[in-house]
Amino acid sequence: MRRRPFALTLLAATALAATACAPQEEQADTVAAPSAAGCEAGALPTLEEGTLTIGTDAPAYEPWFSGDDPTNGEGFESAVAYAVAEQLGYAEDAVTWTTVPFNNVIQPGAKTFDVDINQFSITDERRQAVDFSSPYYDVTQAVITTAGSAAEGATDLAALKGLRLGAQVATTSLDVLTDTIAPDADPVVFNTNDDAKLALQNGQVDAIVVDLPTAFYITAAELDDGVIVGQVGDSGSSADQFGMVLAKGSPLTDCVSQAVDALREDGTLAELEQQWLAEVADAPVLS
């Protein structure tokens, strides 16, 4: 069920109603750069007037998306993206999706999207190149393996230190692997989680680190003998919160954050988490 857009803080209800009925061109003329004080519904300075362009990578993984199709509104991040768009005043048919490789999103420079949603952890290092919205999900990292491997049955991080471990490049998963698990050998770094999963299947690594929801999906649906060793209980400085990514200094950042905050306050984020991520609540903790 869609939520109605939030009202402008500094405008009276009658003015808001009049604006909602105004032609799109007039709305666009009245809003040069949204600020934390007010975000005119559906009339933000987006890349394409009247359209909100949302980026994500391909393939679009479960349970964040469903059927490798971000446009269907199914999966946690697809549902969150459409809920944020609605808060900003953009109906489903005013949302356009574009494919952006994971590593490209957090590089400095011009963007081909207004916002990107793809399990991006909010970090100070990334903030130097891009903006983040308020966090929409708190997540832990997890270690997964295959049945019969040297990692199966590990009950603490110490049991993993002597093993061959891997994770995707430029992710919090790799940060947690390097800084918290701190294996004796250098971690094996992969371009994608698909590459990491293949290496695990082929016995090139004993285990890989991914976020917990992805761990549940990979072990249940993509590995015949997949096993969740456990979640990393103490991520230290790499504790994970996901945020939507915007260009550095984007005039949309405050408005998108307001939208995310509103969805958290009215319970929508909790509802979507329960709907799409409920099964990840229980996994043994490695400390």
Angle formed at CA 60 by CA 55 and CA 63, multiple of 5 degrees = 120
Q: Can you tell me the distance from the alpha carbon of 167 to that of 142, in angstroms, rounded to the nearest whole number?
A: 11
pLDDT score for 278: 79
Contacts of 213 (CB under 8 A, 6+ apart): 63, 64, 76, 139, 277, 280
Nearest to 61 by CA among 194, 166, 190, 169: 194
Q: Where are the domains of the chain?
A: 41-138+242-281, 141-234
Beta bridge partners of 260: none
- The matching CATH number, chosen from 3.40.50.1820, 3.40.190.10, 3.10.129.10, 3.40.50.300, for 41-138+242-281 is 3.40.190.10
User: Six-digit token pair at 244?
Assistant: 């939507």
Helix (H/G/I), strand (E/B), else coil: 38: strand
pLDDT score for 42: 72
- The matching CATH number, chosen from 3.40.630.30, 3.40.190.10, 3.30.70.890, 3.40.228.10, for 141-234 is 3.40.190.10
pLDDT in tens, the chain (287 residues): 444 344 333 233 333 333 333 333 333 333 333 444 468 877 799 999 999 999 999 999 889 999 999 999 999 999 999 999 999 999 999 999 999 999 899 999 999 999 999 999 898 999 999 999 999 998 889 999 999 999 999 999 999 999 999 999 989 899 999 999 999 999 999 999 999 999 999 999 999 999 998 999 899 889 989 999 999 976 544 457 999 999 999 999 999 999 999 999 999 999 999 999 877 657 889 98
Check if 41-138+242-281 and 141-234 are the same fold.
yes
Q: Can you tell me the distance from the alpha carbon of 72 to that of 53, in angstroms, rounded to the nearest whole number?
A: 15
Q: Can you tell me the distance from the alpha carbon of 68 to that of 62, in angstroms, rounded to the nearest whole number?
A: 8
Q: Can you tell me the distance from the alpha carbon of 255 to that of 37, in angstroms, rounded to the nearest whole number?
A: 9
Q: Can you tell me the distance from the alpha carbon of 75 to that of 89, in angstroms, rounded to the nearest whole number?
A: 21
pLDDT score for 43: 78
Q: Can you tell me the distance from the alpha carbon of 243 to that of 229, in angstroms, rounded to the nearest whole number?
A: 27
pLDDT score for 117: 98
pLDDT score for 287: 87
pLDDT score for 239: 59
| pTM over 0.75, yes/no | no
148: left (phi over 0), alpha (psi -120 to 50) or beta: left
Cβ proximity of 3 and 266 under 8 Å: yes
Burial classification of residue 30, based on how many CB atoms lie within 10 Å of its CB (0-12 exposed, 13-18 middle, 19 or more buried): exposed
